Every structure is written in structure tokens, then in C-alpha cells.
Amino acid sequence: MADERKFNGPVTFNGKLVTPSVSVTGTKSLTANDCGKTVFWTKSGGHHITLPAPAAGLYFKIVIAVGSNSSHKIKVATEGTHYFFGNVTVASTTNNKQATQNVDKSTAGTSAEDYEAIELRSNTSTTGGQAGDVVEIWGVDSTSWLVKADLSTAQAAPASLTTIQAA
């Protein structure tokens, strides 16, 4: 969050506790000030979201509000330097099958250019990205983002996932 507040003792809330959010319907560059916000992404026409430079403690939760079979990507700020690693699970909405992509930090760190983007497509067997799917991203240090993505596809048999990939 932009400011940090600490409470000692009991705290009483009068009213609603609202999670900050942002709606994305076109190409968008997030900033560190967007940290902690839930991003509701309406995918259409193949636009992308670019993250700020990673830093320890930054966090983004991206929820797909409207899926699309066009290629949409979540990208790092500096290609060749910043990278994604982590775990992606894609489940079929038409069959009882799922696949997992796991990219470890050491592999991604030695070839950052191969792990600079997260591709989302709602109807392919190698990615995923339908309405309701969630991608959580944490800044680990000054070069890397940790990803946990729970995605779905209309394909019957997701396999050979390439969700985390080169830009």
C-alpha cells in the first residue's frame, strides 16, 4: 500500500472495509502505487498489462472479468532483466483434466528473456484465461516476480503449458 498504518489494541470499523481495485479494458501500465489493488481485466482486442519494476513486497491480484481467445499478456517492465517464475495450473472446463507449469527461480533467473510474460488465452490447451480466473503476482526482489495462477480453458485436455513465456 502507499501508506502503512499500525494499530496497537482493538480497532473498530464503522462502515465497509473495501479492497482498492482498478478496471482495465485496454493497454495498461501498473505502477508501484497500484500495489495491493485487485485488477479486474476485461480482455478484448489483444491488449496487455505491464507491471512496474519488481521490488520485494509489491503485490498484484489480477482477476479476469471477461475472457478472450485473443492473446493478452502480463509483461515485465524491462525485458531481458525482469522475469516471472512460479506455478500455473490450467483446468479444462469441458473435461476433468488439468496441467501445471512450474518455473523455478534459478532457471528463470539464468534466462530471463524466456520468462518475461504471462500469456492468457481462454480457448487454448497451452495457456488459459477465462472469466473468473486469477493471477497473483508478488515482487520477490529487484529482478523477479513470483506467480501463482489458477486458470481455465475450454479445451478438453490442457497440456505442455507455455503460460509463462518470452515476451
pLDDT tens across 88-133, in order?
A: 999 999 999 999 999 999 999 999 999 999 999 988 999 999 999 9
Site of grid cell 513465456 = 165
Percent of the chain beyond pLDDT 90?
78
Q: Is the Cβ–Cβ distance between 117 and 74 less than 8 Å?
A: yes
| pLDDT value for 43 | 82
Residue 145 is part of which domain span? 21-165
| pLDDT value for 117 | 96
13 located within any domain:
no
Q: Which runs of consecutive H residues, i.e. helices, occur in the chain? A: 105-110
Spell out where the chain has E strands.
21-24, 28-29, 38-42, 49-50, 59-66, 72-75, 83-92, 98-103, 117-120, 134-139, 144-153, 164-165
Tell me how many domains the chain contains: 1
39 located within any domain:
yes
| pLDDT value for 1 | 42
4 located within any domain:
no
155 located within any domain:
yes
The dihedral formed by the CA atoms of 80, 82, 86 and 90, expressed in degrees to the nearest 10: -70
DSSP class of residue 37 equals P
pTM: 0.88
14 located within any domain:
no
| pLDDT value for 4 | 65
Q: Cβ neighbours of residue 92 under 8 Å, at least 6 residues apart?
A: 98, 152, 153, 154, 155, 156, 157, 158
